[in-house]
Structure 1
C-alpha cells in the first residue's frame, strides 16, 4: 500500500502581496478567520497516523487550530533566504535587482547568501523520501506555501523552474502518494468551503 502525504498550506500571516521571505509572523486575523471557515473540511486529516508542521508560528498555529497537534519538522522550514530574510520580493528587488534576477533565473544561485532553490527542493524532497512507508499509511503536514511548492516539484521530478509556476494558496491541500523516489500527485475534489484569497 502506498504512503499518502497530504500537505496543508499554512493560513496567512499577512496579505499575499506583503508576504516576506522566511516570514515568522503569527497568523493575522484574516488567517484565523480562514482557518475557522475550513476547519470542518480539514479536520478529518487529523486521523492521519503522523502529523507534522513547519517550524514557523503560522504553520504550528494552523495545525493546532485544525486539531492536528503536529510535530515540528526542521526539514520543512522555509528556504534560507540569507540577508533577504524578512524582506518582500519587491524590497529585495529594490535593493539588489541584479541579484534577484540571478536568483529567479538560476536554481543553483545563492546571491542572498542563503540556500539555493535546488538545495531547498532537495531538502524538502529528502524529508518526503524518508517518511516511514513499510505498510503505507497517512501523513499530514502543515507547511509554508513555499515548502508545499518545493515538495510538488520534487515529487513530480519537475525542472526546478517549475517552482515559480505553482501557486499555493493559504489552506490549500494537495496529496502525494507513493514511496521514496516514486511519487504521484493526487488531486481530490475541492472542499465545500474553499478559503478566500
Structure 2
C-alpha cells in the first residue's frame, strides 16, 4: 500500500526576515490569525489515519488549532544549529562570515558545532521512510519549513544544494506519495483555480 504524507508548514511566529535558527517561540498574533484564515482548507486533513508534528511550540500549536491532535516526533525537529541557535542568518554572518560561507557551500560541514545539512536531510528522510504502511495510507505532519525542505530533498533524491532553492511558506501543504525509498511529489490543485501571489 502506498502512503500519502501531507506536510503542513507551521504558522509563523515572526516576520520572514527575522527568522531565527531553531526558533522555539510560540505563534504570534499574526500566526494565530493565519491559522484561522486557513482552517477551512486544512481542517479536513485531520481525517488522516496518523497525525504528527515537529516538537516546536509553533508546530504543536498549529496542529492543535487545526484539530489534528498530533503526536510529537523528535525526528522532525529542526536542524541542530549549535552555537548559531537563536540567531538570524544575518547575525551569524556578522559574527562568523567564513563559517557561514563554508556551511552554505558544503552540506557535510557543521562549522556551528551542530548538525550538517546532509545529516539533517538523512534524519528527516529516515523518519519518512519508516512510516508504518499497515497503520494507514494517509499521514499529516505539521513541521517547520526547514524540515519540509529536507523531506523534499530526500524524497526527490535531489542534490543537497536544492535545499536552498525550496520556498516553503507558512501553512502551505506539500504531499509526497509512495513508501520507504521511493517517493513522488504530488501536486494537488483544483482545476480552474485562480492563481494567487
Q: TM-score, normalised by structure 1?
A: 0.96
In structure 2, distance between residues paired with 1:195 and 1:66 = 23
In structure 1, distance between residues paired with 2:135 and 2:23 = 36
| Equivalent residue, structure 2, for 1:130 | 130
Q: Does 1:78 align with 2:78?
A: yes
CA drift of 1:105 comes to 0.2
Q: Does 1:105 align with 2:105?
A: yes
- Structure 1 residues 80 and 133 mapped into 2: Cα distance closer, same or farther (>3 Å)? same
1:95-149 Cα distance to aligned partner (Å, 9 max, x none): 0000000000000000000000000000000000000013751000000000000
**How many residues end up aligned between the 2 structures?**
195
In structure 2, distance between residues paired with 1:64 and 1:31 = 13
In structure 1, distance between residues paired with 2:133 and 2:124 = 17
- In structure 2, runs of 5+ residues without a counterpart are none
1:134 match: secondary structure: helix
Consecutive aligned runs of 4 or more in structure 1 exceeding 6 Å deviation:
none
Please provide the CA RMSD for this pair: 1.7
In structure 2, distance between residues paired with 1:118 and 1:17 = 25
- In structure 1, runs of 5+ residues without a counterpart are none
In structure 2, distance between residues paired with 1:31 and 1:11 = 5
Q: Does 1:20 align with 2:20?
A: yes
1:62-113 Cα distance to aligned partner (Å, 9 max, x none): 0000110000000000000000000000000000000000000000000000
In structure 1, distance between residues paired with 2:78 and 2:127 = 13
Do the aligned residues in 1 keep the contact of 2:121 with 2:151 (CA within 8 Å)? yes
Q: Does 1:120 align with 2:112?
A: no
- Map of 1:1-197 to 2, 5 A cutoff? 1-134=1-134, 137-189=137-189
In structure 1, distance between residues paired with 2:145 and 2:66 = 17
